[in-house]
């Protein structure tokens, strides 16, 4: 993680996750789309999987989640429950992928399992923390039934989508890393341009 190019990738993926939160997330929640969090989670897991394909190291997904949290905090009015959800999902994916995706054997099968575990883990940890530790009124009013619905209904939808989007994201990341090794200068220059463009878009949305 000492390589500055690795940090560039982490910033790009964190910002890519963040831009989805700023644009798609805002639109879905504003229009009160059913299970809006599921669609945003699918995007987040797709981006996290791409990041893992490029840099398969413990801690990398947590850093991507932290950058995505900062991106949303800086560029839109903060909803702290959303920020907490972003960060927790990054941690959940980091733990699952560090355990299940560290070996190359059957990696795409493992990535599907990792995505599903991350979805359930992220949803469960978020619901428990926001309800019983943070005690956010919107969640405490709903009580245990809201917690269970979030974990086992919304979480199941997210896990089902994760089974498909995580292997795809990982495959894209693996191939992107291979291309980066063949043409490192052009690839990293493109990553830097993409990073600047994402932050400009984020600021424009704010």
CB-based contact 39:158 (threshold 8 Å): no
CB-based contact 76:206 (threshold 8 Å): yes
The pLDDT value given to residue 111: 92
DSSP one-letter code for 147? H
Q: Which residues of the chain have pLDDT under 50?
A: 31
The pLDDT value given to residue 30: 54
The pLDDT value given to residue 25: 66
The pLDDT value given to residue 80: 86
Residues of the domain holding 182: 4-205
pTM score above 0.75: yes
Angle between helices 80-100 and 60-75 (to 10 degrees): 160
d(CA 166, CA 67): 19
Closest CA to 195 of 48, 12, 44, 51: 12
The pLDDT value given to residue 187: 83
Q: How many domains does the chain have?
A: 1
Closest CA to 84 of 16, 136, 148, 20: 136
* 3-state SS, residue 183: coil
Half-sphere exposure at residue 175, Cβ-oriented, CA atoms within 13 angstroms: 6
CB-based contact 89:117 (threshold 8 Å): no
């Amino acid at each position: 993680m000492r390589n500055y190019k690795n940090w560039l990738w982490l910033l790009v993926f964190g910002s890519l996750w963040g831009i989805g939160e700023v644009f798609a997330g805002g639109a879905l929640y504003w229009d009160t789309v059913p299970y809006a969090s599921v669609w945003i989670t699918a995007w987040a897991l797709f981006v996290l999987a791409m990041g893992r394909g490029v840099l398969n190291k413990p801690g990398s997904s947590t850093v991507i989640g932290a950058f995505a949290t900062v991106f949303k905090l800086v560029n839109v009015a903060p909803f702290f429950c959303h920020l907490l959800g972003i960060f927790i999902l990054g941690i959940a994916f980091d733990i699952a992928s560090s355990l299940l995706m560290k070996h190359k054997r059957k990696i795409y099968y493992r990535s599907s399992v990792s995505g599903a575990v991350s979805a359930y883990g992220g949803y469960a940890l978020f619901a428990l923390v926001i309800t019983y530790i943070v005690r956010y009124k919107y969640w405490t009013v709903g009580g245990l039934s809201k917690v269970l619905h979030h974990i086992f209904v919304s979480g199941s939808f997210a896990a089902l989508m994760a089974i498909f989007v995580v292997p795809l994201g990982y495959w894209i990341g693996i191939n992107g890393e291979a291309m980066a090794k063949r043409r490192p200068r052009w690839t990293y220059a493109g990553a830097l341009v993409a990073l600047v463009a994402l932050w400009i878009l984020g600021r424009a949305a704010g």
